[in-house]
Structure 1
Amino acid sequence: MKFKCLALINLLVLQYLAILGISKGFDFFYFVQQWPGSYCDSDKFSCCYPPTGKPAADFSIHGLWPNYINGSYPQNCDPNNPFNESEISDLISNMRMNWPSLACPSSSGESFWSHEWEKHGTCSESVLDQHSYFETALSLRQQTKILQSLTSAGINPDGGSYGMENIKDAIKEGTGYTPWIECNEDSSGNSQLYQVYLCLDSSGSNLIECPVFPQGECGSEIEFPTF
């Protein structure tokens, strides 16, 4: 009987530690913004504007993703905490402007935001509740001003090609931190600027130099398409 009780206690402790690891066991966040012109000018995606019309020609939020230093990431951590639009009612107009969905069919963004919260946000709820998660991402977008950093360096969304190192240097000059650039291919197979990754510490408070970058790389020259 004594051994059964000890075994049960050990099992409960392991379960508790597993839960604790899910809720707290990440090392940093990727904050990811995407260029809508590259999303829409690619055979990889179907592009549909929201019911309100074409979004602004500016970088928009893709997500705020908890990650591990080894390159992996937690996901779908808490099925008991689904997306609840009422918790972010004061942020909706800001989100529709700065976190629009370009996926088809056309939508106001709720399914996109729900996906981001349930897959990624629930893994950060030990430091960011649902409202704080979305509010933090919106604040980071306002803080980083990616397009402004690029255009100030003469890198414009005009369909031209620009040096990858020049793009990185311009974003670092504007934000203070080294970005990671993700490319995709346009309908003609040319590499183009698609997403910009910056990193946030695990408290969700401060931008940091990324401890690790995703795999993959772009060419030395990439297009910056119009939108």
Structure 2
Amino acid sequence: MKMKLTFSILIKLAILQYFSVLCIAEDFDFFYFVQQWPGSYCDTKHSCCYPRTGKPDADFGIHGLWPQNEDGSYPQNCNRDNALDEDQISDLTSSLQKDWPSLSCPSSTGFRFWSHEWEKHGTCAESEEIDQHGYFEAALKLKEKANLLQALNNAGIKPDDEFYDLDSIKEAIKDATGFTPGIECNIDASRNSQLYQVFMCVDISGSEFIECPELPKRRCASKVQFPKF
């Protein structure tokens, strides 16, 4: 009798834990879709290593698709038991290597980077529509839809080591996408403010850009450098 009671309690606890994970996974207001410029990532004091597949294209690369709340908080690491399964994204691997490359050292295939993003952020967005494959596929589609480099090039803003007005960069992206971006800068060895990351907001389906309920608070100079890569 005591064993049956203990077993029953364990089952109830397991069910409770399962549903608590689901609740956490759905408890966010929107996504930040974040892309970074590789020239700025590499043009700092931090180490930069090209992927094993070779130097990436001179284009913005995906950093992540991050669940976010309007009050500035965000969920993370919502299901540590759900590690990324390489087989689940095998058909996306070539696209991920191109559009979501890892520049961290040592040189890698990118899977460790993708695993980190899934486990920290993706597990908090799990639903019937967004599983492991759906999460990465959504990010790839958003990158194609935004086409940041083309938006900036159309406005005469090119990765040529020149300095551009921060407001002009924001306006060029808004003109192309219809939505105001958040811009993050970093500092190179010469203390220049560089265009580093672009934040755009996405609805909880992970498919449509929206006006940001809350823009990230990042500091940039009024003129920022767009470094070559």
User: Residue 30 of structure 1 corresponds to which residue in structure 2?
Assistant: 32
Distance 2:131 2:29 in 1: 17
Distance 1:17 1:103 in 2: 36
Provide the secondary structure at the position in 1 that maps to 2:141: helix
Provide the secondary structure at the position in 2 that maps to 1:172: helix
What TM-score, normalized by structure 2, do the two folds share?
0.90
In the alignment, structure 1 residue 117 sits paired with structure 2 residue 118? yes
Q: Report % sequence identity.
A: 61
Choose the corresponding residue for 1:197, options 176, 196, 199. Answer: 199
User: Residue 82 of structure 2 corresponds to which residue in structure 1?
Assistant: 81
Deviations 1:154-187 (A, max 9, x none): 0010000000000000001111110000000011
Provide the secondary structure at the position in 1 that maps to 2:77: coil
User: Residue 145 of structure 1 corresponds to which residue in structure 2?
Assistant: 147
- Are the aligned partners of 2:167 and 2:222 in contact in 1 as well (CA < 8 Å)? yes
Deviations 1:24-83 (A, max 9, x none): 10000000000000000011x210001121110000100000001111110000011101
State the number of aligned residues.
217
| Paired residue type of 1:23 | A
How far 1:114 moved relative to its partner? 0.3
Once the two structures are superposed, the pairs formed by residues 2-17 of structure 1 within 5 Å of their partners are: none
Residues 122 and 15 of structure 1: is their aligned pair in 2 closer, same or farther, counting only changes over 3 Å?
Answer: closer
What TM-score, normalized by structure 1, do the two folds share?
0.91
User: Residue 66 of structure 2 corresponds to which residue in structure 1?
Assistant: 65
Provide the secondary structure at the position in 2 that maps to 1:61: strand
Q: Which runs of 5+ in 2 are unaligned?
A: 1-8
In the alignment, structure 1 residue 213 sits paired with structure 2 residue 208? no
* RMSD between aligned residues: 1.7
